[in-house]
Structure 1
Amino acid sequence: MLRFRATLSLALALALLSGCKSDPNTPEYWEKKLSDAKRGDAKIQVVEALRTSGNLKESFLPMLHQQLTTQKRPEVKAALARAVGDLKSPSSLQPLQAALDPEATDTDTALANKELVAALGKLGDPKAAPALTGMLKAKDSYTRIEAIQALGLLRAPEAVEPLLKLASNEATEPFLHKKAIEALGRIGDARAVPLLMQMLTKERQGISFYVESSYALYQVGAPAAEAVIAAMENRDAALAKWAQDNGVNPASYAMKGAQILGDLRDPRGEAVLIKQLGFTNADPRIQALVRMQAAEALGRMRSQAAVRPISALLTEEDPTVRSSYVRALVLLGSHDAVPALQKAAEKGDWYAREVAMRGVALLSEAQEQPLFTKWAQAEPAVTAKECQDSGGDGCENPDALGMKRAEVILRYAKVPEAVKTCGVDDGCWSRKLADKEASVVERAALKLGRSRNPQHAAALAERLSEKDLDARFALIQSLDWLVSDSKEAAVKAREALPKIQSQLADEKGNSTFIKVNEDLRRLAFRLERA
């Protein structure tokens, strides 16, 4: 009996010790450490130690909420806000809101506000929107930025009007303008469309808002397409007057609107885009840019009505302009464009011809393979004459240059070779996604993207980090088509979303991928909302 009592006493003692103030698994332990720390920096060290200790859990929240109320130093409140935000509990809404000081003017309190706002955003609770909206008027820009981003993540409709006011205020810093535009896009409310249409062409202090505005309009979706079409057809009198008053070139909306319609692939835009293929302007550069954007948009939309009018534009011998038309025809995927491409492949300088040859390859059937042998055999003589007539890079040794170009042409012959091998076998084309030849990968991706078969979504998603830009673009576009065509494909592709987001983060600021990753970013958004 005595032994039993001794054992019981020991067990009780151990139980008491496990919950005492010396146990870092308890909130009491950290509360005492905070109380013992006399200086602000020491208290901050305690909170940061708690955050990294692995002991922080929801049962600590009452203590942390109480500390938010009682701690006077704003820098300590900032640290506590970070800890509370880590737990993302709805119960933290009121304590975080109560700790805000909207009238703050000193740096330390402004920093506390910023961290409190960030913590509120992490909660993901729409009830935080009123407090966050109030912080849009904070004197500190960093706090306002944090509030803007949080409201965007919450997709808070009550924030639309305040954000519109902020984004249209000429006294607002351009960076805040950009953040407000991004938040409006994230919220996706049609009320933002008129302002976003203005910001497409707006510049302040030499800073453009086109990237942010075009993406925001893409996020809004169908109402944005309606506004873009109205602008391109000159039916938006208010926007036309604004553009005139602000010195905006009327062609800007024809050019930039086409890009947005191509992203949205709204079929209502097909007619206006086909009309833009015949756009004329006194400045040939503007004329070409509008036509190029219209062609590429029609390619993304898979508009078969555009095959013939775009093919007719291949007489253009500027390589950059012709390249846009070729890309559009490749996206459209019609073999009917091959005769015009073949004709273009024999006119112009090397760069113009090579672009057309590439188009033939990407739309070829097996019977087109001999064309590339013919072109390769003729290229040394064609290059020699080109060097004699106009010179250029590499013309100091025209024979070597001609042979080098012939090798490029023969590489394109691998595409019709793959067509001969795979035919209509999608399984074969799926394996070709790993081919060493980028043009074969591009052809395979587009073939699978047009298949409407959701089973290919995973294979396309797996290859989105392809380094060749044309191949990566084809992979992104093809997966985007599949996701649009099939809910099942969207479900399968959504499994790759974390990997896509990680890729976008890793490649952010990389100038090589900046343009093609705008398409990847839109795909990621489509998958988020799927």
Structure 2
Amino acid sequence: MSVVKKFLNLFKSGAEEGEEARLRAQKERTENLLKALTDGDLDARWAAVRSVGDLGEAFIEPLIRGLQDDYWIIRRGSADTLGKIGAPAVTPLIAALAEPSDDVRQETIRALQLIGEPSVSPLVQAAKNPHPLIRRGAVQALGLMGEERAVPVLVEAMKDTDAGVRYEAAVAFGRINDPRCIPHLIESLNDVQERVRTAVMATLCSLGIPAIDPLIRALIAQNEDVGRRASLALVTIGEPAIDPLIAALADQNPGIRRGAIEALGQIGNTRAIPKIIECLEDDIRPVRIEAVRALAALGVPAIAPLMQVFREGDNRIRSGAMEALWMLGQPATTPLIMVLKDEQSDVRKRAALLLGEIGDQKAVDHLTGLLSDDNVAVRKEAFEALEMIKTRTAQ
């Protein structure tokens, strides 16, 4: 045998022995890590969790068990390592969503988020799983990942028999921020579970401008609770909703006009006052009543424009202005006192009437001066107003 051949044989033998030694060492390491993950103390488990990310699928099941560890650090480390292992861990992780413990489920979802794209399609399928906890976890994970491809399955999840799934779907829509969900969220404003309704409201508010017009249309929903919650959502959106709500005051549907007035009154922006005052002339009584309430809710800034129509408006708008001023109460006293000397006897009479209804002692001397008014109707109204204030003071 030549020297070269002998050398090659020796090299081959050495290489085989080296490979065998490497495999033995790897096997020993694997066994030690598996033992540490299963039976080790906290330090040993933590060291093992951090070390097995490059060893692959053999450690998926022990790491899944690690998600249920008593110690948070082991649960978090197991999730991070499963995230590094990637796609092979997706199916076991989805199965682990059935675990009822929130701590375990949160770390399971974290691992799926870390895996990313390879987990999307399996999670979409898992959103239809027979087990409600798996559906719930899948929907939550898709929302946290901001996965727009999940929108169709989230729409279905809004109708799920499990309230937890519906809740997570509503939250997920808020994270994905896709306007396609708005009609489905509005339908769910009447969900039987309060926490689902709360999540739906929060998401609609977070969507902001795209949700405003659909919410305005929802003010006339057949279900009164839906209309009420739509109004509350518009009030919560606040400033961006003001101009669309003002525009809705001209809508042909009186229910929308009424709902828009109510929302504007609760938002409290004075920019709406002139248009709401115009609604005091609306042909529909409930709209006029809502306008009065809204103006009273808007407070002192509404007094000056109300006083203008109180003096100059026709009978219908004047009547509404009077009622709003009465509801405003004492802040309206001084402006009303100022018109007790108005040239129009009808204005003086109506001012006296309102001052009597408000009952503010500050008006007594001024009303007393009206007892010598040239107009008998004014004198009569001033006397009755003084008697009303006297009675209230005595009471």
Q: What is the TM-score of this pair, normalised by structure 2?
A: 0.56
2:156 matched to which residue of 1?
A: 137
What is the CA-CA distance between 1:160 and the residue it aligns to? Answer: 0.8
What is the CA-CA distance between 1:34 and the residue it aligns to? Answer: 9.5
1:83 matched to which residue of 2?
A: 107
Q: Is the 8 A contact 2:279 2:288 kept in 1?
A: no
What is the CA-CA distance between 1:272 and the residue it aligns to? Answer: 1.2
What is the CA-CA distance between 1:289 and the residue it aligns to? Answer: 3.2
Paired amino acid for 2:190: P
What is the CA-CA distance between 1:119 and the residue it aligns to? Answer: 4.3
Aligned with 1:111 (options 109, 117, 133)? 133
2:230 matched to which residue of 1?
A: 213
Q: Is the 8 A contact 2:60 2:82 kept in 1?
A: no
- In structure 2, the CA distance between the partners of 1:219 and 1:27, relative to structure 1 (3 Å rule), is farther
Q: Is the 8 A contact 1:81 1:116 kept in 2?
A: no
Q: Is the 8 A contact 2:234 2:241 kept in 1?
A: yes
SS of the residue 2:356 aligns to? coil
Q: Distance in 1 between matches of 2:98 and 2:182?
A: 28
SS of the residue 1:275 aligns to? helix
What is the CA-CA distance between 1:151 and the residue it aligns to? Answer: 1.9
- In structure 2, the CA distance between the partners of 1:286 and 1:194, relative to structure 1 (3 Å rule), is closer
Q: Distance in 1 between matches of 2:337 and 2:76?
A: 65
Q: Distance in 2 between matches of 1:346 and 1:184?
A: 44
What is the CA-CA distance between 1:212 and the residue it aligns to? Answer: 2.6
What is the CA-CA distance between 1:275 and the residue it aligns to? Answer: 1.5
2:81 matched to which residue of 1?
A: 63
1:515 matched to which residue of 2?
A: none
Q: Is the 8 A contact 1:117 1:146 kept in 2?
A: yes
Q: Within the alignment, does 1:148 sit opposite 2:148 as a pair?
A: no
- In structure 2, the CA distance between the partners of 1:314 and 1:155, relative to structure 1 (3 Å rule), is farther
Q: Structure 1, residues 109-137: CA drift from partner, whole Å, max 9, x if none?
A: x321212333454x4x5x43433553222
Q: Is the 8 A contact 1:232 1:254 kept in 2?
A: yes
What is the CA-CA distance between 1:186 and the residue it aligns to? Answer: 1.4
2:219 matched to which residue of 1?
A: 200
Q: Within the alignment, does 1:226 sit opposite 2:243 as a pair?
A: yes
Q: Distance in 1 between matches of 2:319 and 2:213?
A: 38
What is the CA-CA distance between 1:221 and the residue it aligns to? Answer: 5.4
Q: Distance in 2 between matches of 1:290 and 1:77?
A: 51
Q: Is the 8 A contact 2:189 2:200 kept in 1?
A: no
- In structure 2, the CA distance between the partners of 1:155 and 1:196, relative to structure 1 (3 Å rule), is same
Q: Distance in 2 between matches of 1:216 and 1:102?
A: 33
Q: Distance in 2 between matches of 1:97 and 1:130?
A: 9
What is the CA-CA distance between 1:202 and the residue it aligns to? Answer: 0.8
| Equivalence map 1:177-196=2 (5 Å) | 180=200, 182-190=202-210, 192-196=211-215
Q: Structure 1, residues 350-394: CA drift from partner, whole Å, max 9, x if none?
A: xx53xx56xx79xxxxxxxxxxxxxxxx999626xxxxxxxxxxx
Q: Is the 8 A contact 2:276 2:295 kept in 1?
A: yes
Q: What is the count of residue pairs matched by the alignment? A: 303
Q: Structure 1, residues 411-461: CA drift from partner, whole Å, max 9, x if none?
A: xxxxxxxxxxxxxxxxxxxxxxxxxxxxxxxxxxxxxxxxxxxxxxxxxxx
Q: Within the alignment, does 1:163 sit opposite 2:182 as a pair?
A: yes
What is the CA-CA distance between 1:75 and the residue it aligns to? Answer: 1.2
Paired amino acid for 1:82: Q
- In structure 2, the CA distance between the partners of 1:98 and 1:59, relative to structure 1 (3 Å rule), is farther
2:260 matched to which residue of 1?
A: 257
What is the CA-CA distance between 1:232 and the residue it aligns to? Answer: 1.3
Q: Distance in 1 between matches of 2:259 and 2:276?
A: 12
- In structure 2, the CA distance between the partners of 1:137 and 1:381, relative to structure 1 (3 Å rule), is closer
| Equivalence map 1:14-29=2 (5 Å) | 21=37, 22-24=40-42, 26=46, 28=48
Q: Is the 8 A contact 1:311 1:325 kept in 2?
A: no
What is the CA-CA distance between 1:225 and the residue it aligns to? Answer: 3.0
Q: Within the alignment, does 1:382 sit opposite 2:372 as a pair?
A: no
Q: Which structure shows the higher helix fraction?
A: 2
Q: Is the 8 A contact 2:147 2:176 kept in 1?
A: no
Q: What is the TM-score of this pair, normalised by structure 1?
A: 0.44
2:11 matched to which residue of 1?
A: none
Q: Distance in 1 between matches of 2:352 and 2:111?
A: 63
Q: Is the 8 A contact 1:258 1:293 kept in 2?
A: yes
Q: Is the 8 A contact 1:148 1:180 kept in 2?
A: yes
Paired amino acid for 1:128: E
Q: Distance in 1 between matches of 2:339 and 2:267?
A: 28
Q: Is the 8 A contact 2:170 2:200 kept in 1?
A: yes
Q: Is the 8 A contact 2:208 2:240 kept in 1?
A: no
Q: Is the 8 A contact 2:173 2:203 kept in 1?
A: yes
Paired amino acid for 1:76: E
SS of the residue 2:191 aligns to? helix
Q: Structure 1, residues 40-99: CA drift from partner, whole Å, max 9, x if none?
A: 9xx6xx74554xx342575443334465532546513986432245x6996354466355
SS of the residue 2:147 aligns to? helix
Q: Distance in 1 between matches of 2:115 and 2:236?
A: 31
Q: Distance in 1 between matches of 2:106 and 2:354?
A: 62
1:389 matched to which residue of 2?
A: none
What is the CA-CA distance between 1:188 and the residue it aligns to? Answer: 1.2
What is the CA-CA distance between 1:197 and the residue it aligns to? Answer: 1.5
Paired amino acid for 1:215: L
Aligned with 1:269 (options 247, 267, 272)? 272
Q: Is the 8 A contact 2:186 2:215 kept in 1?
A: no
Q: Distance in 2 between matches of 1:131 and 1:27?
A: 37
Q: Distance in 1 between matches of 2:123 and 2:137?
A: 10
Aligned with 2:190 (options 174, 195, 205)? 174
Aligned with 2:356 (options 317, 327, 347)? 347
1:97 matched to which residue of 2?
A: 120
Q: Distance in 2 between matches of 1:218 and 1:317?
A: 24
SS of the residue 1:347 aligns to? helix
